[in-house]
Amino acid sequence: MSPTLLRDPGHLLALGFGSGLAPRAPGTFGTLAAVPVYLLCAQLPLMVYLAVVIAAFVLGVYLCGRTARALGVHDHPGIVWDEVVGYLLTMAWAPPGWLWVVLGFVCFRLFDILKPWPIRVLDRSVHGGFGIMIDDALAGVLAALSVAGLVRVLG
């Protein structure tokens, strides 16, 4: 990867502040980079939080598409802004506390890695920046539903 790519703020965001450059499991490292972003946003009123997540998604469509074109690969593993947004979606209705930060992380990673239907369909059939973002956004929604179920079970 060209060092000049990392000097561009848009590419740096798409690469999850550099976390996507991890030699193994860049998606996991990208999700780890999302945790402090979540902690910064967690105290926002829900509607403001959701507006931030929507803005991050829309920005991600542009940034991820642009970085994918620069790298010459549709969904390069180093592009992890989609993981950041997916994790933020996962945590939108989660209660405060480290237990939920960790459970949200695990739920999101499971849905992102396993890509059950319909996530897999979107991952394979939708391209460009929107395609990069949408499968992780859906994984985030399904993970959020899982976290909500865990809240009901675990209290």
Q: What digits encode the pLDDT tens for the residues 42-51?
A: 999 999 999 9
Using the predicted structure, report yes or no on whether residue 3 has a pLDDT greater than 80: no
Spatial distance between the Cα atoms of 70 and 64, rounded to a whole number of angstroms: 10
Average pLDDT over residues 120-149: 97
As a whole number, mean pLDDT of residues 56-79 equals 96
Is the pTM higher than 0.85?
Answer: yes
Find the helix or strand (DSSP H, E) in which 65 lies.
helix 46-71
Is residue 15 a contact partner of residue 6, using CB atoms and an 8 Å limit? Answer: yes
Q: Is the pLDDT of residue 79 over 80?
A: yes
pLDDT for the residue numbered 1: 66
Note the pLDDT of residue 103.
98
φ/ψ of residue 96, rounded to 5: -70, 155
The pLDDT > 70 percentage for the chain reads 98
Task: For residue 130, give Cα distances in angstroms to 25, 78, 119.
Answer: 22, 16, 13
d(CA 63, CA 11): 7
Contacts 24+ apart (CB under 8 A), 7-14: 10/62, 10/63, 10/66, 10/67, 11/63, 11/66, 11/67, 11/70, 13/59, 13/63, 13/81, 14/60, 14/63, 14/64, 14/66, 14/67, 14/79, 14/80, 14/81
Q: What is the pLDDT of residues 89-111, one digit of tens each?
A: 999 999 999 999 999 999 999 99
* Segment 112-122 mean pLDDT: 96
